[in-house]
């Protein structure tokens, strides 16, 4: 045995604690790679929010075996929240101090296996709820906050502010898709580990939820299907509508907590309704309109009162490693930004015609999935004046182009609305994330939707985009919906 190992490490090797595997666990998890020689598994029995028993098996170096034994001893008999708070530093302390150089991976390995066992427990508890979407039904607690943590500075400071305000906080990171190792996608394997480490450094319990099936069904398939149907989707809106807030509420109910929090720049006003944040340049109310009102009543947005520069300063002053992380990508599951390539991996696009507004054929295209209303580049035809995509017709496989003026609309039809306030309070509408509100009057279309009559024209409104209505002072979200073609 190398002299560098502490007496505590040797003790765990000679007298391993809680080794083995449970026959009927509440959850089981594995981490590591047999090709590299180190693999750890944990199985846990959880009853009444307590880890009644935790067992481990480790195949690998002595440091990994000892770390598994130490971690199992640390979490056995603890409450689930306390067990999820155990950090690499705690395991290191139980082993008598820092491990020899090159052996620090043992701490990450065994903690990841344990947390995958917790993740498996939540998946079994939720059943189809984390595939179809959680709709409530659990017991809402009187206090406590589940804070969604993506690995970025905004979500980390959100959790920190809540803790410093005296709230009981549990952090959660969602596995939404198979992010590439080493990428900064919000749910890549490395980012999950980073978010967990950040939470533990703040003394917070951390959980992960596997939402891959739900995210694929309600966000990724919708994204691809929208382009196939000639619409322009917003995956962040779909994720907020069907995934993040529902999953956070599920975990809050299971832990006996009341609130859910995210790092969005927004505020919750009376009603409840959404209100714009202090930092207008970071306003995210546009992508939050589909949150069900009953979940908005439980939502907390601590960053609504801060500017982004203040958030980064707080992270720096508190010594958070996320202080200088770059801004997150627009589409988390398309790290290279090439949405056309992503869509074409799923859709077999068929070629068609590029026509003008009178129907004259100007050229050919390789598939309507490559086009969206307002697009100028990549159309594939030349003209004396710039051409823009004004309409996508998937049924006839036609892409219609015209002048910039042809993109102007004075009427927007909206379906699938979610109202926070009475519709009559809507006085302006915003139809793209980076666009401003335009004064309007709204009227029911007689088919379950609404029509916004605009006081001034708006360019390039596409079916599938969100239309969000604001109050007379422009500060509160009255409601929102999806832009539709005709009465679709």
| 186 a catalytic residue | no
- 136 is annotated as contributing to ligand binding: no
Strand partners, 409: 458
Q: Which of 307, 298, 301, 306 is nearest to 285 (CA)?
A: 301
Is residue 186 a contact partner of residue 152, using CB atoms and an 8 Å limit?
yes
Burial class, 456, CB count within 10 angstroms (exposed 0-12 / middle 13-18 / buried 19+): exposed
150 marked among binding-site residues: yes
Q: Does the annotation flag 382 for ligand binding?
A: no
Task: Please give the Cα distance from 154 to 305 (Å, whole number).
Answer: 13
Out of 64, 186, 187, 239, pick the active-site residue. Answer: 239
CA distance 93 to 202: 17
Q: Which DSSP symbol is given to 425? A: G
- Whether residue 151 is annotated as binding a ligand: the answer is yes
Place of tokens 């398309």: 334
Rounded to 5 degrees, φ, ψ at 311 are -65, -45
Q: What distance in Å separates the CA atoms of residue 470 and residue 476, rounded to the nearest whole number? A: 5
From CA 179, how far away is CA 3, in angstroms rounded?
Answer: 40
User: Got the DSSP string for 279-292?
Assistant: -GGG--GGGTTTS-
**Residue 239 annotated to the active site:** yes
Residue 56 in tokens: 């481990």
Take residue 27 and report the two structure tokens written for it: 């959850």
Pick the closest to residue 471 from 292, 276, 290 (CA basis).
Answer: 276
Edge to edge, the sheet with strand 206-210 lists 206-210, 169-175, 143-148, 257-261, 299-300
Q: CA 331 → CA 240, 327, 344, distances in Å?
A: 13, 12, 16
Q: Rounded to 5 degrees, what angle do the CA atoms 263, 268, 271 make? A: 155
Those residues with Cβ within 8 angstroms of residue 384's Cβ, 6 or more apart along the chain or in another chain: none
* Secondary structure of residue 276 in the 3-state scheme: coil
174 annotated to bind ligand: yes
Helix (H, G, I), strand (E, B) or coil at 263: coil
**CA quadruple 408, 414, 418, 421: dihedral positive or negative?**
positive
Residue 196: in which H helix or E strand, if any? helix 189-201
Catalytically annotated residue among 64, 187, 236, 332: 332
Q: Which stretches within 322-367 are classed as H helix? A: 339-344
Using an 8 Å Cβ cutoff, are 31 and 116 in contact?
Answer: yes
CB distance 480 to 467 below 8 Å: yes
For residues 151 and 198, the answer to whether their CB atoms sit within 8 Å is: yes
**DSSP states of 372-384 as a string?**
-TT--TT-----S
* Residues annotated catalytic, as ranges: 239, 332
Residues making up the binding site: 148-155, 174, 263
- Annotated binding-site residue numbers for ATP: 148-155, 174, 263
């Amino acid at each position: 045995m190398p002299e560098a190992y502490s007496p505590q490490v040797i003790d765990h090797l000679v007298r391993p604690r809680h080794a083995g595997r449970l026959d009927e666990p509440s959850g089981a998890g594995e981490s590591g790679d047999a090709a590299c020689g180190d693999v750890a598994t944990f199985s846990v029995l959880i009853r009444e929010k307590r880890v009644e028993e935790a067992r481990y098996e480790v195949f690998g170096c002595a440091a990994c075996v000892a770390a598994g034994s130490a971690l199992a001893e640390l979490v056995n008999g603890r409450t689930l929240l306390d067990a999820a708070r155990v950090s690499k530093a705690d395991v290191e302390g139980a082993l008598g101090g820092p491990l020899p150089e090159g052996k620090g991976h043992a701490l990450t390995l065994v903690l990841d296996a344990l947390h995958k066992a917790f993740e498996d427990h939540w998946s079994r508890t939720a059943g189809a709820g984390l595939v179809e979407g959680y709709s409530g039904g659990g017991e809402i607690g009187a206090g406590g906050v589940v804070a969604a943590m993506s690995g970025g500075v905004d979500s980390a400071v959100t959790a920190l502010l809540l803790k410093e305000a005296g709230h009981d906080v549990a952090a959660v990171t969602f596995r939404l898709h198979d992010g590439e190792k080493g990428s900064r996608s919000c749910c890549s394997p490395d980012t999950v580990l980073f978010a967990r480490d950040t939470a533990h450094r703040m003394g917070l319990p951390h959980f992960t939820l596997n939402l891959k099936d739900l995210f694929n069904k309600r966000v990724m398939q919708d994204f691809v299907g929208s382009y196939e149907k000639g619409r322009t989707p917003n995956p962040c809106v779909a994720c907020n509508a069907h995934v993040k807030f529902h999953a956070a509420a599920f975990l809050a109910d299971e832990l006996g907590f009341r609130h859910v929090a995210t790092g969005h720049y927004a505020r919750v006003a009376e009603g409840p309704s959404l209100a714009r944040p202090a930092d207008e340049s970071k306003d995210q109310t546009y992508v939050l309109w589909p949150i069900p009102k009953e979940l908005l009543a439980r939502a907390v947005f601590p960053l609504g009162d801060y500017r982004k520069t203040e958030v980064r300063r707080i992270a720096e002053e508190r010594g958070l490693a996320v202080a200088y992380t770059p801004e997150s990508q627009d589409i988390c599951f398309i790290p290279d930004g090439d949405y056309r390539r992503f869509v074409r991996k799923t859709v077999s696009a068929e070629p068609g015609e590029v026509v003008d507004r009178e129907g004259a054929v100007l050229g050919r295209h390789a598939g309507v999935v490559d086009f969206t209303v307002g697009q100028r580049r990549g159309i594939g035809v030349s003209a004396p004046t710039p051409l823009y995509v004004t309409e996508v017709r998937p049924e006839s496989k036609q892409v219609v182009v015209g002048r910039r003026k042809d993109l102007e609309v004075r009427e927007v039809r909206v379906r699938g609305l979610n109202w926070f306030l009475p519709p009559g309070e809507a006085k302006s509408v915003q139809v793209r994330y980076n666009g401003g509100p335009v004064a309007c009057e709204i009227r029911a279309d007689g088919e379950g939707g609404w029509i916004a009559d605009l006081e001034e024209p708006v360019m390039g409104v596409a079916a599938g985009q969100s239309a969000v209505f604001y109050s007379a002072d422009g500060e509160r979200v009255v409601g929102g919906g999806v832009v539709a073609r005709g009465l679709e």
